Structure 1
Amino acid sequence: MSHMFQLQHRRGFRAALLSCAALAGVTSVAPALAQNVGLEDIVVTAQKRAENVQDTPLSVTAISGEKLAAQGIGTVQELNRVDPALQIGQSTGTVTTFIRGIGNPVTTAGNEASVPVYIDDVYFVRAAFPFFDLASISRVEVLKGPQGTLFGRNASGGVISIYTRDPEFTPAMEARLGYGNFQTMDGKFYGNLPISDTLAANISVSYHNQDQGWGRNKRLVDPLDTSKGYKPGGEDYWKGRSFSTRGKILWEPTDTLSLKLIGYYEKSHSEIGIYSRPFPGTVGGTPDGAHNGFANLPGVFPIPSQVLPPLGFYDVPLGDTQKMYDASEGYGFSGRVDYEMGFADIVSITAYRKADELYASAGNYSPYNWARYDLNVIDKQISQEFQLKSKASSKVNWIAGLYYLNADGGFNPTTIYGPAVEGLGIRQIDIIGKQKVISHAAFGQLTYPVTETTNITLGARYTIDKVRGDGQTNVTFLPGVFGPGAVTLNTQKFDATNDFGGARGLTIVNGVNPDHEKKFKKFTFKGTIDQKLGEDAMVYANISRGYKAGTFNTLPLDNAALQPEVIDAYEVGIKSELFDRLVRLNVALFWNDISNPQVQAQRNGLVFLTNAGSARTRGAEFDLTVAPAQGLTLRLAGSYLDARFRDFQGCPTYAYSTTAPGNLDQLVTNCSGNRMPYASKWKGTAAVNYTHEVDGTGTFDFDASVNYSSKFNWDADNLIKEPVRILVDGAIGFTPASLEHVTLRAWVKNLTNRKYNLNYYAQASGSAFSSAPGAPRTYGGELVFKF
């Protein structure tokens, strides 16, 4: 039955691709039916200079802020709906980004993604989702494949670049007020004000509040007998709220000098995306002290443990005291200077960012007051980049630059408390794990026209990364254990002068710790040749190397840093515009060899990274856009991906305990040959946009999209799989002729109410195989004012 189900979905997807392609082909060969029809140019800065995306010899997906708003895409997590190469999840306050199967889902502070996110050319070390509210967006660019030359910092899988709107010298204002189901309120404001002939400023504000949850927080009828099930009702769960604002000042005192200052702030509190319930089809269990090293509590929960009753898809079993959430507050500043000299242009980008974040987690995803984890996240960075690049009119395009990053990440501290540790005579356990990264890099790239139609691009970057780890664990005992008052003992230390400790980790060993500090040096490169095939077509081939620096595990910090992840990538592609620019078709084939991939594992109930031996991803992508008639645009994009571990021995896996029902034991297996996590074999997007003006009435806008993902594995052991996912979204807007500055818009997401998961985490305890759901069907209306 399962095989037939998968086969039907695969055939259905391929049929949809062929049908849409056929439709596009039929419509595109009839240009006589369309007047003033054609696809607009898309300008990107994927190579640190403005150019048409069709002239850029690498795979890039770019979408404007207007189109994002029309499709209802308001967060970076939803960008996988516009690019099949992307796989984006949300977990513990961050977004987890994958491109072409490359990435890692670990969200421990200090770890950096293999697919970084940039905002206004500033790299964000921790991809905390509240910073990525897509308000006042100019465009988003998704660069696929290693970008180890121009972007460099950990861009081993690709880059997501977000560009917000710059101030302009024309007044403008836009406001959006919306309301949706689950008592969801949204408000967005953008204002632009020219102050003088040389000075302008803008500001954007975004507010979101979902006050009703998708599911219920359930309580047991009898805490000592789970077979009696849950009580009816329960509080709403899966709610969230956020506020963010961003301002820019642009000063152009001369024709050759431009200064831009940016400031931003965010605050959020959310339950969405936090693993809080068993993965659908699996079960969790009541607490078992042996699986966490904590105390059992007779009379509070059953001993031995019992399996928890099954839940509804959107329900959680957390009771009154185990609620989980992520709360953050952060801000940042950046400044950019562009100066045009006689022979070249200079760019300087300076940035600072800091965030305070609390991830409040339960020690067991069950209704018992047992253990609590408060993870206090460290997240601070300073960066500086200098660029010297050729003039836009130069025959030979070149750029050279320097980059510096100073970043602090980790936990200070992770506090474990509650009856589970009090039963051992302990008031609390504080785990401190901090990492400092200092990175220096020099880079350059040159594009030389061999002929009028042939270009060769060569690029290189040399990076020196210095990572330092400092960690310790403090145990505070209850009064009466070692004396009349509370006593705190340091039971573990990991820094420049101390090792992990004795055989049981209970003593400080003085001396030099050689693993406390590591330095990594890496040369990355890129070579590309592109050949024009007339004015509207180009073929290209490139080879490049990506690099993700070695990193410490910060929860806890007691081991040497991981080895860097290195990717050697090969890509060939064609970019074309056909039938007098009525059709745009881009195709790419790729192959990535990965050494020491950094993948998720688990130890003592805590998430951390480990190195696999090697892996390989390969596949194909296409992106077809057609403008068959006035106001009508059709888009079809798809990808095929084969992503596997070549060598991964000592791979963690899990099995249900034979002595503690509902709890997991951690085991070790060989994952060589397994498919990589978050890597759907087939993905596709089909979208339509239609704008039609009715004389004397107004303008109608219609947007609809279908997004398909075949099943994928959540972890390297290929044990738990996400089923086939099909999401259908749509929106209709109307702008009255008599009120041309006002638009009424109705929208729906996940029209078919598809059940899917945002993330996954296996934990050797009663938390077991845990996950968080994606949004069910949501819908609402919006009032838009533009002046």
Structure 2
Amino acid sequence: MKTKLFAIGCAAAQLATSMAVHAQAAAPQSGESAAAPKESVLEEIVVTAERRRTSLQRTPIAATVMTGESLAASGVTTVDQLQFISPAATVNNFGQGIDFNIRGIGKAEHNTQTTTGVITYRDGVATFPGYFTAEPYYDIARVEILRGPQGTFVGQNATGGAVFVTSNDPIINGGHHGYVQGHVGNYDEFGAQGALNLPVSDTFAARVAFNGLKRDSLYDIEGPYTGDDGVQTGSFRLGMLWEPSEKLSVLLKADYSYLDLSGYPADPVNATNDPFEITANADIHALDRFGRSVLRIDYEFDNGTTLRSVSGYQKGRTEYRADLDGTSIGNNIFGDAVDEEIYSQEINLISTDTGRFNWILGAYYQHDEYEFPPGEFYIGIPTGQYLLEGTNPKETTAFFGQIGFHVTQSVELQVGARYSDSSTENHIFVNQYGLPLTQDQRAEYSNLSGKVALNWTVDEHNFLYAFVATGFRPGGLNVPVGLGIPAPFDEEKVTNYEIGWKAGWLDGNLRTQLNAFYNEYENFQVTVGYPDIPVFGFELNNPNATEIYGLEAQIEAVFGQFSMDAGVGWMKSELGQFFAVDPRVPSFGACDPATGPASPSCIDLEGNDQTYAPDFTFNLGAQYEFTFAGGDILTPRVNYGHVSEQWATLFQNEARGDRIEARNIFNAQIAWRHGDLVTTLYGTNLTDQQYVGALNSGLRFMGPPRQFGLRLLKAF
């Protein structure tokens, strides 16, 4: 390990003069597009990763931060496209949710039992873990993508990273302002969104926002399938801000989304046909309906200490039906409906950051319950030969804190810790080909994670940091398949070593970030398929240490009318010795995860890559503003994102379709600003690359093809 750390550190030093941080300034509340005039120097970026507003260039964390206008200019409207603007991130969308991975850690099997390694927050509240992810980005202030374990502040599960999505707040005494936007595109796409700020009084304001979309299917489907294969979505958000005094702030946000995605067609992994011309003979259906409310209360005491409460409540229902063999020949179908309800509460006590000491204390509680209604979870030939119903409640309690001490005026020592206690239960009834099976099982896990960081502000332009942090992802319960109740899987622990350098150059025109990391995992959680029913995955623990290490760099620059940003990530993952049965090949004999023995069916996975962990990622964006007489501005912009090849399973069997080829996505737009009106011609995936967006259950789900259109935005 020490040799690898030294090598990574040397490589980081060699790259330091050329690469590093991608970030943007706060979004304008009017919803103005990226065609707005640029400043001649870069503005300060503020992040909230440590529960207080801090400068990104002075925060010991690797992060990509984008404003709402920057997201739109880069062609990012949903979570899928985040992988093309941030290093070391992959998003694999297979229909009823996504597998979001950062630095190779996240989610490789989509079910309620498997925890995610990347937590997404919406306005300060952790969202549904994996489901309800197609929510569009509209009226967004910023998106923060944090890379690496976030154990102290984000807590359990965030062993890969975290994503913070923040919508625009109401502005008291900000006048009536907002925007309305509409667009048309190929595939008969029509969309509209908008927002309005309402200053009710000197102490109260509200903000309303909406988004709607209608589009035909991206696929040409043949066969006796049923269901509407188009897309219709609608979302609405209401925000209310009350500030009766300088010390008290109460912010309430509530939103609702109806996302009729009408199924995610797919065909077999090794099919040779045009992947957008497929056959099916099942009902194709995908519908998400969910609501969320967030209440944040901040009170500042006379000494500057802030007491903060963040309460969240979310409730949703997801429905999904698909052709499981991906053809019109067989009749192997899958269907499920899941109701999920979450309520959470977080309390923070935050000191000022003006003295030699600064600190934060916090407590967190979350209850999450999944319900599988009778008769709505089914699979098999003939239909309904595997039926599942029941509940899966989960509970989490945590206490955390961090203290910072300025050893000198420029050197700060930070020490943080978090204690987590979590439990999960399965109360499940399964009927398999007439054989009943009942699972009443509970598992509980606890952990103490910590972080020690040393930060050095060399001068006003350079910031160095190094830290050691530990993280924790709890174990869980596997889905009952076959005979008997499967064994639980254990918690996963990670130790992260990281060094970084953030710098400003050329009088504020250039900003960089470079970091190197080494992660060592104990009881690494891996997913393999059940030999009898491979469509179901189950979790095991790798008994030997797994390593993931790499380098990341980002850069952002503004030179007059020209601006650009870029990011690059290199990563290597190595599984510790671990034996597993590939469910797609005939198995015989015993196969112990620790000892094997190795055979054609009991495969030694030592040294294999982690799933969804590409060796190389790269992104680049650039634009130039042409100013005309009268003040009109023409802004062409191009974006390129590259994600190298990756593996969808640990077995890395290319002949069986385990390899996902590289993704190379070009987006471009040209925006014309005339006063408050912006007209934009845009295109995404301009080369029309046919790339696999995800592999699941022996099926390939394609990423979006080339799309283009015209967008009009009016700010007021």
Structure 2 unaligned residues grouped into runs of 5+: 1-14, 22-37, 588-599
| AA at the equivalent of 1:443 | F
State the match for 1:116 in structure 2.
119
State the match for 2:520 in structure 1.
593
1:178 aligns with 2:183: yes
Matches within 5 A, 1:271-310: 271=262, 274=264, 276-279=266-269, 282-283=270-271, 310=272
Q: Which moved more, 1:140-149 or 1:92-101?
A: 92-101
**What TM-score, normalized by structure 2, do the two folds share?**
0.87
Answer whether contact 1:623 1:637 (CA < 8 A) is retained. Answer: yes
Change (3 A) 1:605 1:433: farther
How far the C-alpha of 1:475 sits from its partner, in A, is 6.9
How far the C-alpha of 1:72 sits from its partner, in A, is 2.5
Deviations 1:218-274 (A, max 9, x none): 349xxxxxxxxxxxxx999964222111111100011100111111111112256x3
Change (3 A) 1:418 1:72: closer
State the match for 2:56 in structure 1.
53
Answer whether contact 1:612 1:647 (CA < 8 A) is retained. Answer: no
State the match for 1:341 in structure 2.
301
How far the C-alpha of 1:565 sits from its partner, in A, is 1.6
Answer whether contact 2:605 2:651 (CA < 8 A) is retained. Answer: yes
Q: Which moved more, 1:455-464 or 1:708-717?
A: 708-717
1:602 aligns with 2:533: no
How far the C-alpha of 1:652 sits from its partner, in A, is 2.9
Name which of 718, 728, 746 aligns with 2:681: 746
SS of the equivalent of 1:67 reads helix
Name which of 685, 694, 701 aligns with 2:628: 694
1:264 aligns with 2:260: no
| AA at the equivalent of 1:217 | I
CA distance in 2, matches of 1:236, 1:644: 43
How far the C-alpha of 1:753 sits from its partner, in A, is 0.8
The structure whose Rg is larger is 1
Deviations 1:694-732 (A, max 9, x none): 122611122211111221111111122112221100111
State the match for 1:76 in structure 2.
79
Name which of 162, 187, 196 aligns with 1:159: 162
CA distance in 2, matches of 1:104, 1:667: 25
SS of the equivalent of 2:536 reads strand
SS of the equivalent of 1:146 reads coil
CA distance in 2, matches of 1:555, 1:68: 42
CA distance in 1, matches of 2:586, 2:442: 38
1:491 aligns with 2:436: yes
Change (3 A) 1:651 1:197: farther
How far the C-alpha of 1:635 sits from its partner, in A, is 1.5
Matches within 5 A, 1:436-455: 436-455=393-412
Answer whether contact 1:252 1:258 (CA < 8 A) is retained. Answer: yes
Deviations 1:270-314 (A, max 9, x none): 256x362112xx14xxxxxxxxxxxxxxxxxxxxxxxxxx42121
Deviations 1:571-596 (A, max 9, x none): 00100001111211110000011122
How far the C-alpha of 1:64 sits from its partner, in A, is 1.0
| AA at the equivalent of 1:684 | F
1:244 aligns with 2:235: yes
1:420 aligns with 2:381: yes
CA distance in 1, matches of 2:83, 2:380: 42
CA distance in 1, matches of 2:710, 2:198: 28
CA distance in 2, matches of 1:183, 1:90: 22
Change (3 A) 1:398 1:528: same
How far the C-alpha of 1:564 sits from its partner, in A, is 1.2
| AA at the equivalent of 1:245 | F
1:315 aligns with 2:253: no
State the match for 1:378 in structure 2.
339
CA distance in 1, matches of 2:310, 2:113: 23
RMSD over equivalenced CA pairs, Å: 2.6
CA distance in 1, matches of 2:134, 2:294: 14
Answer whether contact 1:338 1:345 (CA < 8 A) is retained. Answer: yes
| AA at the equivalent of 1:618 | Y
Change (3 A) 1:172 1:394: farther
Name which of 643, 657, 668 aligns with 2:573: 643
How far the C-alpha of 1:51 sits from its partner, in A, is 1.1
How far the C-alpha of 1:431 sits from its partner, in A, is 0.9
State the match for 2:709 in structure 1.
780
Name which of 522, 527, 531 aligns with 2:456: 531
Deviations 1:543-563 (A, max 9, x none): 111111112234659323221
Name which of 457, 478, 483 aligns with 2:414: 457
Matches within 5 A, 1:359-758: 359-368=320-329, 370-409=331-370, 411-413=372-374, 415=376, 420-421=381-382, 429-474=386-431, 491-495=436-440, 516-554=441-479, 558-603=485-530, 604-613=533-542, 614-628=545-559, 630-652=560-582, 654-655=584-585, 667-696=601-630, 698-719=632-653, 720-736=658-674, 740-758=675-693
State the match for 1:196 in structure 2.
201
How far the C-alpha of 1:112 sits from its partner, in A, is 2.8
CA distance in 2, matches of 1:612, 1:316: 37
Change (3 A) 1:442 1:651: farther
Deviations 1:473-530 (A, max 9, x none): 2479xxxxxxxxxxxx7711111xxxxxxxxxxxxxxxxxxxx111101001111101
Change (3 A) 1:110 1:186: farther
CA distance in 1, matches of 2:581, 2:551: 28
CA distance in 1, matches of 2:247, 2:524: 45
Deviations 1:77-101 (A, max 9, x none): 1111110221112123212111111
State the match for 2:317 in structure 1.
356
Change (3 A) 1:419 1:428: closer
Matches within 5 A, 1:6-17: none
State the match for 1:771 in structure 2.
700
Name which of 138, 142, 164 aligns with 2:141: 138
Structure 1 unaligned residues grouped into runs of 5+: 1-17, 25-34, 221-233, 284-309, 477-488, 496-515, 658-665, 763-768
Change (3 A) 1:419 1:670: closer
| AA at the equivalent of 1:438 | E
State the match for 2:218 in structure 1.
214
SS of the equivalent of 1:735 reads strand
SS of the equivalent of 1:370 reads coil
Answer whether contact 1:410 1:554 (CA < 8 A) is retained. Answer: no
State the match for 2:591 in structure 1.
none
Answer whether contact 1:130 1:268 (CA < 8 A) is retained. Answer: no
Change (3 A) 1:153 1:133: farther
Deviations 1:362-414 (A, max 9, x none): 34322147343321113111100000010243432210010001111253346
CA distance in 2, matches of 1:38, 1:209: 39
Change (3 A) 1:690 1:109: same
CA distance in 1, matches of 2:640, 2:135: 23
The alignment covers a number of residue pairs equal to 660
CA distance in 2, matches of 1:57, 1:416: 45
Change (3 A) 1:656 1:219: farther
CA distance in 2, matches of 1:602, 1:200: 52
Answer whether contact 2:94 2:696 (CA < 8 A) is retained. Answer: no
How far the C-alpha of 1:419 sits from its partner, in A, is 9.5
Q: Which moved more, 1:638-647 or 1:129-138?
A: 129-138
Answer whether contact 2:579 2:603 (CA < 8 A) is retained. Answer: yes
CA distance in 2, matches of 1:610, 1:402: 29
Answer whether contact 1:130 1:266 (CA < 8 A) is retained. Answer: no
